[in-house]
Amino acid sequence: MSSLLITNGRLVTLDEENRFVDNGSIYIDGRRIVAVGDIAPGSYVADRSIDAGGRLVMPGLINAHHHLYSTFARGFTPPGPPARSFEENLKKLWWKLDAALDSDDVYFSALLALIEAARAGCTTIIDHHASPSCCDGSLDRVEQAFRDVGLSGCLCYEVSDRNAEAQGIEENERYIRKCRKSDDDQLTAMFGLHALMTLGTETLERCAEIGQALDVGFHVHAAEDLVDVQTTTRRCGRSIIDRFADFGIPGPKTIFVHGTHLEPREMDLLHSTDSMLVSNPESNMNNGLRVSPALDFLRHGVTVGIGTDGMSSHLISQARALYLHQRTDHRDPTLAFAEACEILLHNNRTICNRIFVEPRGALAAGQLADVVIHDYVPFTPLDAGTLYGHLLFGLSFSRVQTTIARGRVIVDDGQLPHLDEAAVRAGCAERAAAIWARIH
C-alpha cells in the first residue's frame, strides 16, 4: 500500500458540510482518504505528492448504468434498410452486435471503454452486460478489464429468452457467488434482466427465486419504449412495475433503467418500495424515444440516477443533456439546472453506496480514495451557489488531469501509464473490423 498527498487544490468535497476549500490538500493512505482540507505542511509524509496547481479537485464520478460491450458499435451501420422503430433497432443493431462478440471482444470492448471512463473522471461503473455467443464466464472477462484499468465495477448479465430460454441465469448466479466469496470490494454484482418484452414467466420466476435467495438487487430495463409496455399488457394484462412486483423484483437494491413510459401510479410504487430509477437522456434521444421524465420521478420521491447506456463514458455530458432536454421539453427555462447536477453528484452516490461496501462520492476521511483533478482553474467565483454552473458549462468541456481510483493514480497528466494504450487501440481496431464482418 502507498500513500499520496495532493496539495494546492480547489477542493469541492461534496461532504456532509459541503465544504469548498480554495487551497486545500488531501492525504490518502492505501485506498482510503485520511484527511481533507487545510493540512499543515509536514503533517503527513507521503510516498508521492501531487501539486494540483489551483485546479478543481472533486470525488470520482459514478456511472449508474452502462453497456461496456457496445464499444465496437461506434460508426457501425447495420446492413439493410434503416431501423424505423426501437424494436427494429434492437434486432438490426444491438442484438446482432452482442451476438457477434467472442470472449476476447468482451474484454477489449470493456477495456477501451474503461480507459475512456477513467480519462473522463469516472471511477465506478454499474454495468449491464450481454454476449449470448459467449455467455458463460463473460463477466470474468469484464472484471479483468476493470482490474487492468483500476476502476470499480458492479456487473451483471442480461437474462433474456430472446436467444435461448433463461440464458444468463447461471452466469449471474455464479458471478454473484464469486463476488460474495471475495473480500475485495473492487467488483460486486447484481442480477441482470433485459426487459419484460423478452422475459417469460418461468424465466422471471427463476430469476426472482435465485436473486431473492442471494439477497441481491436486480438491474433491469423498464418501459424504455411503448413496445415493452404494450407487449407486457398484451401477454399479462399488467403494467410494467406491477408485473415486476408480482415477482418481488422492486426494492431498495434494485435499479430500473429508463422508465420512460411508466405511469404516475408506477412511480409511486417505485417510491413505496424504495427502488431506484436511472435516466439515460442521450441514449433515449439517439434512439428517437421520449426521455424518461426525471423531474416527475423526483416529484414522486423516487431516487433518480443517471447513466450513459453505452452511448459514451462521459458522465457530465449526460447531466448537461438531462438539464437541456427537460427545459426544452417543458418549455421552461427555470427547470432542471439544480436537479440534473444533484442527480449526478448526489443521487448516483446514493445508488452506488447501496451496492458497494466501501463508501465513496465525497472527499472526506474514511471515504474510498476516488479523486479527480480536472484541468480546470475557475476564473469566476466557485462556491455552493456557483458549482453547478461550473459543472455544466466549464467541466463539461475540460480534460481530466489526474484520476485516482482506490488510492492509485490511474490517469497521470492525461495518460494511463500502466497501460499500452496504443496497443490496446490497435487491437480494438482489428477486433472491431472482424466483428462488423460477422454481422449480417
191 vs 17: CA distance, rounded Å: 35
On whether the pTM is more than 0.85, the answer is yes
Output the CATH code of domain 61-355: 3.20.20.140
Q: Among 115, 163, 415, which residue's Cα sits nearest to residue 107?
A: 115
List Cα–Cα distances, 380 to 383, 385, 387, 439, in angstroms.
Answer: 10, 12, 10, 51
Q: Which grid cell is 7?
A: 496539495
Q: pLDDT tens, position by position, for the chain (440 residues)?
A: 699 999 999 999 999 999 999 999 999 999 999 999 999 988 999 999 999 999 999 999 999 999 999 999 999 988 888 889 999 999 999 999 999 999 999 999 999 999 999 999 999 999 999 999 999 999 999 999 999 999 999 999 999 999 999 999 999 999 999 999 998 999 999 999 999 999 999 999 999 999 999 999 999 999 999 999 999 999 999 999 999 999 999 999 999 999 999 999 999 999 999 999 999 999 999 999 999 999 999 999 999 999 999 999 999 999 999 999 999 999 999 999 999 999 999 999 999 999 999 999 999 999 999 999 999 999 999 999 999 999 999 999 999 999 999 999 999 999 999 999 999 999 999 999 999 999 97
Q: Sort 357 into a burial class: Cβ within 10 Å, 0-12 / 13-18 / 19+.
A: exposed
Q: Given this model, what pLDDT does residue 131 score?
A: 97
Q: Among 156, 163, 139, 159, which residue's Cα sits nearest to residue 91?
A: 163
Please answer whether residues 236 and 243 qualify as being in contact, where contact means their C-beta atoms are separated by less than 8 angstroms.
yes
61 vs 117: CA distance, rounded Å: 9
What is the tens place of the pLDDT at every residue in 22-72? 999 999 999 999 999 999 988 999 999 999 999 999 999 999 999 999 999
Q: What amino acid is encoded at 317 in this protein?
A: S
Q: Given this model, what pLDDT does residue 74 score?
A: 92
Provide the 10 A C-beta neighbour count for residue 14: 20
What is the tens place of the pLDDT at every residue in 103-146? 999 999 999 999 999 999 999 999 999 999 999 999 999 999 99
418 vs 403: CA distance, rounded Å: 13
DSSP code, position 167 = B
Q: Given this model, what pLDDT does residue 1 score?
A: 67
Q: Sort 229 into a burial class: Cβ within 10 Å, 0-12 / 13-18 / 19+.
A: buried
Q: Given this model, what pLDDT does residue 80 score?
A: 86
Output the CATH code of domain 3-60+359-412: 2.30.40.10
Provide the 10 A C-beta neighbour count for residue 410: 26
Domain boundaries, the chain: 3-60+359-412, 61-355
322 vs 343: CA distance, rounded Å: 10
Please answer whether residues 350 and 303 qualify as being in contact, where contact means their C-beta atoms are separated by less than 8 angstroms.
yes
List Cα–Cα distances, 231 to 2, 203, 243, 244, 311, in angstroms.
Answer: 54, 16, 12, 14, 26
